Amino acid sequence: MNTTAITVFVLLFGFITVLGFAAGRWRRGDLDQLHEWGLGGRRFGTIVTWFLLGGDLYTAYTFVAVPALIFGGGAIGFFALPYTIVAYPLLFLFFPRLWAVAHKHGYITAADFVQGRYGNQWLALAVAVTGIVATMPYIALQLVGLEVVISAMGINVAGQIGHIPLVVAFIVLALFTYNSGLRAPALIAVVKDILIWITVLSMLIFIPIQLGGYENIFNTVPPERVLLATPPPNSLGQYSAYVTLAFGSALALFLYPHSVTGILSASSAKAVQRNAVFLPAYSLMLGLLALTGFMALASGVDKMPEYAAGFAQHRNNFAIPALILHSFPDWFVGVAFAAIGIGALVPAAIMSIAAANLYTRSIHARFINPNLTPAQEARNAKIVSLVVKLGALVFIFLVQTQQAIELQLLGGIWMCQTVPAIFFGLYTNRLNPTALLIGWAGGISVGTWMAVTNNYQAAFPLPVGDLTVPGYAALYALGINLTLSLVLTLFFGTRGKDETKPSDYNFRTHGTDDAPLPVTVA
């Protein structure tokens, strides 16, 4: 066991644990109100929102998996870079409007908005269930990232005893989330992001020096890893896969419940807009982080006997932990692994809160107990957040890592099927809710079928005449979804009770410098 690294790791974890409990007194509010516990009272300004969304979107699994994809698959892994770049214009275009209408009507989740916009509890239920089910494997993947770095420090994570570090970490997570709500991950995200930036910049400076510079690194990498593979005859190959993966992933990114939670916790629509401008700094960091996959290839860590067991257990996901172990002193290994570990707890906390908000508002309060008081609503959400974390923990113990990855792929496909109800709903109420529900069901069914029959590969080989167009199954399924929604709206006609009005979508807030934008809602 790497005693020095473990000591630094534990000390930093202890620090963020204290911070998590202290967060309940930060910007103090009544945590027996759901908007206070689950959205931080909607009082996070531009800077806190930047750290929160950054900690929310750039997770431990991102830190481990993106370089691992570059390490194992080469240039196709760089789709993550344009994907995040495309996502931020979508954030700027759609989500200030969602913030405005949610602030006006007290919506906590995207499903709340769908219920208010269309007056259809079944469509809102579909959006809520999609979000909850897509979130569960996402939380489990944070455990995968945490498990990789724990094992890299020499702690055996196999068997029941090996699960103890994960259990302890998630007990801590559960307690400070229950106590402090969204304030805890918001405050911890600041520490996490500082550590992540220190780690990435250190890797980008010192590892190339050890490997003879970037020129030598790229000369060492096999040429077929640097560029997308040339498509075979009668196929667009990786070219169409790359484009559709980037665009489809961008559509889904901010529709995930944890993303919506981070956005709605902002103090103003202006804070959301500013973050659409400033968050691409994380895309720069992600692109630089992706290069470490090539560094791992150039260093040959996969051929070093001391890391053979790690690669055997975690496959390509062990590439970056091995590179860090090989390149830095033990004390810095502890810092870097703590950054990744804390990078698991922050998004896992937000995801569990978001899932709890969805369940409480769109399932429990709608179908089980419509007479919940505000205090009961908040207490119910707190309990559900514990259940969600426990479910993710059990999930990772009972399900193989590869299956968790496959289910997370399905999560992206499923989240894309909420695009018509949410994105279109922010601009018009003319789509029929029953048509949207049928379109959602069609998209979910087709997307799931494509993924399962294609052995859970993201790019489905769609035949178009004599040409094969491999593309992200989420986009193909969304095409079916949109077609059904639009055609059936023509058949059913516009129907639904809209509790919102056009002025609700203007970007007005109270006590800020926001000004309404001249956008008309149909």
Q: At 511, list the tokens.
A: 């006590």
How buried is residue 228: exposed, middle or buried, by Cβ count under 10 Å (0-12/13-18/19+)? Answer: middle
On the question of pLDDT at 512 being above 60, the answer is no
- The torsion region of residue 154 among left (phi > 0), alpha (psi -120 to 50) and beta comes to left
Residue 464's pLDDT is what?
87
Residue 359's pLDDT is what?
92
Q: At 395, list the tokens.
A: 């999930």
Stronger pLDDT, 158 or 207, i.e. the higher one: 207
Q: At 362, list the tokens.
A: 């769109």
Q: pLDDT tens across 38-71, in order?
A: 888 888 888 988 888 887 777 777 778 788 888 8
List the domain boundaries for the chain. Answer: 3-418
By the 8 A CB rule, do 88 and 281 touch?
no
On the question of pLDDT at 482 being above 90, the answer is yes
The average pLDDT across 12-26 equals 83
The average pLDDT across 272-279 equals 90
On the question of pLDDT at 392 being above 80, the answer is no
By the 8 A CB rule, do 231 and 238 touch?
yes
Residue 391's pLDDT is what?
79
Per-residue pLDDT band at 95 (split at 50, 70, 90): very high
What is the CB neighbour count within 10 angstroms for residue 93? 15
**Among 282, 56, 276, 285, CA closest to 188:** 56
Residue 160's pLDDT is what?
58
The average pLDDT across 145-173 equals 74
User: What is the model's pTM?
Assistant: 0.88
> Comparing 78-92, 97-111, 436-450, which segment has the lowest mean pLDDT?
78-92
Rounded Cα distance, 282 and 260, in Å: 18
Per-residue pLDDT band at 158 (split at 50, 70, 90): low
Residue 23's pLDDT is what?
79
Q: pLDDT tens across 310-343, in order?
A: 888 778 888 888 899 889 999 999 999 888 888 8
Per-residue pLDDT band at 113 (split at 50, 70, 90): very high
By the 8 A CB rule, do 93 and 519 touch?
no
Per-residue pLDDT band at 163 (split at 50, 70, 90): low
On the question of pLDDT at 133 being above 70, the answer is yes
Residue 366's pLDDT is what?
87
CATH superfamily of 3-418: Sodium/glucose cotransporter (1.20.1730.10)
By the 8 A CB rule, do 141 and 408 touch?
yes
The average pLDDT across 168-179 equals 82
Residue 521's pLDDT is what?
33
On the question of pLDDT at 436 being above 90, the answer is yes
Rounded Cα distance, 301 and 73, in Å: 16
Q: What is the distance, to the nearest Å, from the Cα of residue 221 to the centroid of all Cα atoms in its chain?
A: 30
Residue 510's pLDDT is what?
41
Q: How many helices (H) and strands (E) does the chain have?
A: 24, 2
Q: What 3-state class would DSSP assign to 44?
A: strand
What is the CB neighbour count within 10 angstroms for residue 424? 19
**DSSP-assigned states of every residue in 360-418:** IIIIIIIII-TT--HHHHHHHHHHHHHHHHHHHHHHHHHS-HHHHHHHHHHHHHHHHTT
The average pLDDT across 443-447 equals 94
**Among 43, 96, 103, CA closest to 507:** 96
Q: pLDDT tens across 244-255, in order?
A: 888 888 898 899
pLDDT above 70 coverage of the chain, percent:
93
Residue 403's pLDDT is what?
60
Residue 519's pLDDT is what?
36
